[in-house]
Chains A and B, each alone.
Chain A
Amino acid sequence: MIKQNLGELEEKSIYIIREAKSHFKNVAALWSMGKDSTAMLAIARKAFLGKVPFPVIHIDNSIDFPETYKFREDIAKKWKLDLIVAESKINEELSGFACCGANKTVALKKVMNDYGFDALIVSIRRDEHGIRSKERVMSPRDENFKWNYKNQPAELWNDYSSKLDKKGHMRIHPLLDFNEIDIWNYIKKEHVPVNPLYFSRNGYRYRSLGCTNCTVPVKSNAKTVDEIIKELENTKIEERSGRQQDKEKERTMERLRAFGYM
């Protein structure tokens, strides 16, 4: 995995977050307590003189690990976050992608409407997935939250689109240029707090945090940020491979157990 210049990446993110704040009236950010969105908050604090200047939304399906809830409370207090918990319900009938899509989106739509947010910061990265690498830094979503990917706005240089469907909102992607390893190097350099689920326990760790029902840990002995960086320098496995629960249904429970899940 290629390590990029952290200073340059950070400057670009700061610029994007500040642009979002100055363009839009009512900005919010998604915070999953995962490494990317937490790193994004650390950058926002640096961009805005030590405090995160927008509310952060946790889409809570109430089945996250206890570690995650504790992390949420600790960081929200420490960083004085304006935390909005949006409750989402697990749909037992659906699974995997359909389930995620249904619940998370319903909950998100509700919270966006209730508060009237016109821009949402989402900490996705291009190297996560082939489709994500097609995203723009600023990307409009329509009233139904749909991404018109076949007709994206022009985005030359740093001329980010500010045009918006009246009833829709803008997605802001300040971490698009980061690679997974850059996030970890940034966490190391800036001492960004890390959700303990990322560190190895009984030979497994989470590499990407999705919903508890659908994300499984991957084999790893990395117990520190340094060990994670070392692991990533040589890996050939996709970051989100732990989310391909459908392929490995039988082994899901085994791995969850190994991680101490009931």
Chain B
Amino acid sequence: MKINKVTLLGHKDHGKSTLIGNLLIATKSTSKERIEEAEEISRKLGKKFEPAFILDSFYEERKGGLTIDTTRAQIRYKDMAFEFIDVPGHSELIQNMLSGASYANIAVLVISAKIGEGIKKQTERHLFIARMLGIKHLIIAVNKMDIVNYKKERFDEIKSEISKFLSAIGYEEKNVSFVPISAYTQENIMKKSKKMDWYSGKTLLEHIYAASKNGRKKDYGKSIALMQGYLENGVSCTVLSGKISRNPFYLIPGYDKYGISKIIVKGRSVKEAKTGVNAVIYSNKKFPADIRGKILCNEKIVPKKRFGAQVFLVNNLENPTLRFNGNEIKCNIKIKKVIYPLRNKTINSIKPLEAAEAEITADKALVTLPFDTLKELGRFTIYSGGKFSGFGTIKE
């Protein structure tokens, strides 16, 4: 069964974990033991029943009433399965949020309708990150409608306000849907709510289902494999696009041509290795010692030392290095234009939790492609002295 990966997004306490927790219960996707444990802990901590505790398993998470680290849970829906990725909403935990959200292709943004909650900085920040991560389909779930008496006005207000932000960061209207919900009382999650008859659209799960049907990946024309390292006399590699067959290929950087004499996949000799496959390849010509991170391609791609990217910072930059396809490379990051927050366009530096267009100069030439063309060759993480400081996507 194909598993569609759906990340939750949104400010802390707006109800992400509660939403998944209750869904797991309602779809009978979790065991009695886990539900009973969540009930018992809620009681012991003197709280009402918190469905979030099915996911929030660390003691500190339960006691503090927040998600600290990302977690996953699957449910079946019609002929599909969804893997929900829960992430922390707290701004200090963006690193953990990214460790979950970066695996998703659909996102559900949870915004609490409660007066005083609504759209927060983190709501917008998470959306911006989703955009950078290439998440195309968004579902905006306006939550805690039970607290605002299921009033249409509050839903409309939030919808129009967040719509402005969404179009400012480049989300197309056709890829975004809105649904008023109550995660706690399960309104409009699986079943149409009787309490919100003014809403005639799909339930949350139907929206996710529709978004899952939509996203089809188009294949990038060239055949490309990423070299991992030596494995006995061969080289292990992952096919990123097209297929590797017993034909001549360029090894880039370098442009030396290698005839592929043998391809082993899962212990068997094969004629070709397709996209997504991990192969071991052999050639009669000797591969160079520093094979890791090089690219095998049927056409020439020009390696670059300098390229344009969008970067999102999580910590301060200090003698930064890029981690790009298994290698760590010293680099210089020159900020060109602030792109998040939307307001400080005139300043040409960014702080942690902000994003910019940047020009990156790496210490050695890399085979990059725009993130939109082939994501594996268009993304990187940034480290400063071993500390995670952000991530980026390549534009050109």
Contact = CB atoms under 8 A, between A and B. Distances in A.
Interface of A: 2-5, 8, 10-11, 14-15, 18-19, 22, 45-50, 126-127, 129-131, 133-134, 136, 149-150, 152-157, 159, 163, 179, 236-238, 241
A48 B276 CA distance: 18
Given A46-B267, A50-B267, 12 more contacts: A2-B1, A18-B236, A19-B326, A22-B236, A49-B232, A129-B57, A130-B71, A133-B73, A154-B96, A156-B102, A159-B381, A241-B33
7 contacts: A2-B75, A4-B81, A18-B229, A22-B228, A22-B236, A154-B98, A238-B33
B294 to A, nearest CB: 14
Interface string B1-18: 111000000000000000
Nearest to B388: A154
Given A5-B1, A15-B278, A154-B388, A236 B31 contact: yes
A183 B355 CA distance: 42
A134 B70 contact: yes
B132 to A, nearest CB: 11
B95 A154 contact: yes
A130 B31 contact: no
Given A22-B292, A156-B102, A149 B72 contact: no
Nearest to B387: A163
B241 interface: no
Interface residues of B, number: 52
B69 interface: yes
B386 A163 contact: yes
Interface in B69-101: 69-76, 81, 95-96, 98-99
A129 B228 CA distance: 32
Contacts of B34: 130, 238
Contact of B391 (A5, A48, A133, A156): A156
A156 B99 contact: yes
B1 A46 contact: no
B63 to A, nearest CB: 12
A259 B388 CA distance: 51
Given A45-B267, A236-B28, A4 B57 contact: no
Contacts of B75: 2
A5 B54 CA distance: 25
Contact of A130 (B54, B68, B277, B391): B54
B58 A156 contact: no
B72 A133 contact: yes
Given A49-B267, A155-B99, A18 B388 contact: no
B280 interface: yes
B68 to A, nearest CB: 6
Nearest to B268: A46
Given A2-B74, A131-B57, A159 B323 contact: yes
Contacts of A130: 34, 54-55, 57, 71
B123 interface: no
The 6 tightest CB contacts between A and B, nearest first, are A130-B57, A22-B229, A154-B388, A156-B102, A46-B266, A238-B31
Contacts of A22: 228-229, 236, 292
A8 B276 contact: yes
B103 interface: yes
Contact of B76 (A2, A47, A163): A2
Interface in B16-56: 28, 31-34, 54-55
